[in-house]
Amino acid sequence: MRVEVPDDRVGVVVLGAGPGGYTAAFRAADLGLEVVLVERYERLGGVCLNVGCIPSKALLHLAKVVAEAEASAGHGLSFGAAEVDLDGVRAFKDAAVTQLTEGLAGLAKRRKVKVVHGEARFTGPNALDVGGTAIAFDHAIIASGSHASTLPFLPDDARVMDSTGALELPDVPGRLLVIGGGIIGLEMATVYDAMGSQVSIVELADQLIPGCDPDLVKPLAARIAERYAAIHLETSVTAVEAQDDGLHVTFDTRSPSGSGTGGGPDPSVFDRVLVAVGRRPNGADLGADAAGVEVDEWGFIRVDAQQRTNVPHIFAIGDVVGEPMLAHKATHEGVVAAEVISGLDVCFDAKAIPSVAYTDPEIAWTGLTETRARQEGVEYETAAFPWAASGRALANGRPDGTTKLLVDPATRRVLGAGITGTGAGDLIAEAVLALEMGAVAEDIALAVHPHPTLSETLGFAAEVAERTVTDIFLPRRRKT
Ligand code: NAD
């Protein structure tokens, strides 16, 4: 198909209307640029708003209500077993999504950002085709996101779901197998466990959420070990066979070298299988070579600190430029790309990008981890405050948490932070600010935290680092 490219160029075309793309488009419009935002789906918001962060948080909110109601039975307050009306649950989740996506459409309109729906493909260095319509541009921002990875041996069967399928909540399966003990797998496990499924998890690595410090994962691992049917670490799935009575799954335990041992858990039958084994970037299907943009073998597009690809007037942001694949990284990169295009001298230079698993308990971490410090030979001290000593955690009936700081022994600068416990995802924001501001541990220790809150645990961890803490007893250091 030959596409006639119009002579009129738009200032900026943004490919993809996820959190990175719509933020870039809106910032560019606010800076006075003419913007076209191209989105293949009917609704704006990308994976995050439509089939990711937001609907999962709506379901996790309900899961939390169930868990708290169950726990309160042991504290003198009983509600009885939860009755789940799946239509009502879906309606609650969909209402949140609809309000946000319609809000985005309204925000685009008010800014005069032109939204074009269809699949965008580059046809030249300054030209795109969107379903037969040509768009010529001065600058482009690629914000095409990522998609769920799959496993080659899975049967084509509706009972095998990815995260999008699982969020549709087709039913509450009696037996659910989650393949992949990363953030997506564990968040969806939290939802289905609360709804009443018997959940099993199979994870290839030797711990859940590989990459997160093991001490932070421990309270979650302990809680779900009691609730879930099984957690198989260092194990892979070797086959899934669809039969009338369920999905027949066989496993293989990995040896330390990574090869299969032929051993492992007995084969089992599940009513549904959720595959959550990571995400792959959407860099390969954009016709990027027509524009001269390099895409690596994985589908990632490399960029510099100003989000520029190898083609100076084409930028890329979000999941398609690399890990971590997180919405809040994408939005900040989107702002940088828009501002650079408008002539501002800025770059993406975040000191800390927080990661959060919205599990029960939540796990959040930012900056340096102990795992990475050891790999890279970075000197550090840890200072941890156990939530069992937090008045608020005890009053909440949830002392299963910990807050720790990593501190530079020489400069006392805060290098990283990790929090496990209810609401950890909100609490980590203070540590992000501390890292961005170059805080030393004493800055956090001397900041007056409101009592009684879980936020105090960060202040107490800093007091542990400074050895000024009074809420726990630290044995005196021996004189040498
Ligand atoms: P992930 O990479 O975080 O986890 C996938 C897990 O699957 C890993 O632990 C991996 O070891 C395991 N795995 C891989 N192959 C396997 C196999 N064959 N058998 C068993 N286990 C296997 O990926 P994810 O959880 O799918 O999430 C994808 C991306 O989306 C991540 O970058 C994540 O950060 C992001 N995300 C973030 C949030 C959040 O911020 N709360 C929520 C959802 C997703």
Pair (98, 182) in one structural domain: no
Q: 109 pLDDT exceeds 90? A: yes
Q: Domains in the chain: how many in total?
A: 3
Contact 147, 171 (CB under 8 A): no
CA distance 21 to 145: 9
| pLDDT tens-digit readout, 358-384 | 999 999 999 999 999 999 999 999 999
Pair (335, 299) in one structural domain: yes
CA distance 360 to 186: 9
- Cis peptide preceding 324, ω within 30 of 0: yes
Pair (442, 390) in one structural domain: yes
Distance 353 CA to ligand 1 centre (A): 17
Pair (57, 129) in one structural domain: yes
Contact 11, 35 (CB under 8 A): yes
* DSSP helix/strand/coil, 14: strand
Which residues are part of the catalytic machinery? Answer: 451
In-domain check, residue 474? no
- Determine if ligand 1 sits within 6 Å of the CB of residue 210: yes
| pLDDT tens-digit readout, 169-223 | 999 999 999 999 999 999 999 999 999 999 999 999 999 999 999 999 999 999 9
Distance 184 CA to ligand 1 centre (A): 6
Substitution site in 50, 183, 328, 358 for ligand 1 pocket (most atoms within 8 Å of beta carbon)? 183
Distance 209 CA to ligand 1 centre (A): 8
Specify the DSSP class assigned to residue 267.
Answer: P
Pair (18, 105) in one structural domain: yes
Average pLDDT score over residue span 304-320:
98
Pair (120, 47) in one structural domain: yes
- The range of the structural domain enclosing residue 447 comes to 355-466
- Determine if ligand 1 sits within 6 Å of the CB of residue 367: no
Look over the chain and give the mean of its residue pLDDT values, rounded to a whole number. 96
Write down which residue in 341, 365, 380 finishes a domain: 341
- Determine if ligand 1 sits within 6 Å of the CB of residue 274: no
Q: What percent of the chain has pLDDT over 90?
A: 94
Pair (307, 412) in one structural domain: no
Pair (140, 266) in one structural domain: no
Helix 214-227 vs helix 183-195: angle between axes, to the nearest 10 degrees?
A: 30
In-domain check, residue 347? no
Confidence class for position 459, pLDDT limits 50, 70, 90: very high
In-domain check, residue 230? yes
Write down which residue in 249, 277, 305 finishes a domain: 277
Q: Whose CA is nearest to atom 43 of ligand 1?
A: 184
- Determine if ligand 1 sits within 6 Å of the CB of residue 154: no
Pair (91, 30) in one structural domain: yes
Pair (173, 291) in one structural domain: no
Pair (313, 185) in one structural domain: no
Write down which residue in 244, 259, 277 finishes a domain: 277
CB burial string 441-476: b at 16+ within 10 A, e below = beebbeeebeeebbbbbbbbbbbbbbeebeeeeeee
Pair (94, 127) in one structural domain: yes
Q: Whose CA is nearest to atom 28 of ligand 1?
A: 278
| Unique residue bearing structure tokens 């307050």 | 77
| pLDDT tens-digit readout, 233-287 | 999 999 999 999 999 999 999 866 667 777 889 999 999 999 999 999 999 999 9
Distance 66 CA to ligand 1 centre (A): 25
CATH number at residue 178: 3.50.50.60
| pLDDT tens-digit readout, 114-152 | 999 999 999 999 999 999 999 999 999 999 999 999 999
In-domain check, residue 227? yes
Q: 39 pLDDT exceeds 80? A: yes
In-domain check, residue 67? yes
Average pLDDT score over residue span 9-16:
97
- Determine if ligand 1 sits within 6 Å of the CB of residue 428: no
Q: Whose CA is nearest to atom 14 of ligand 1?
A: 277
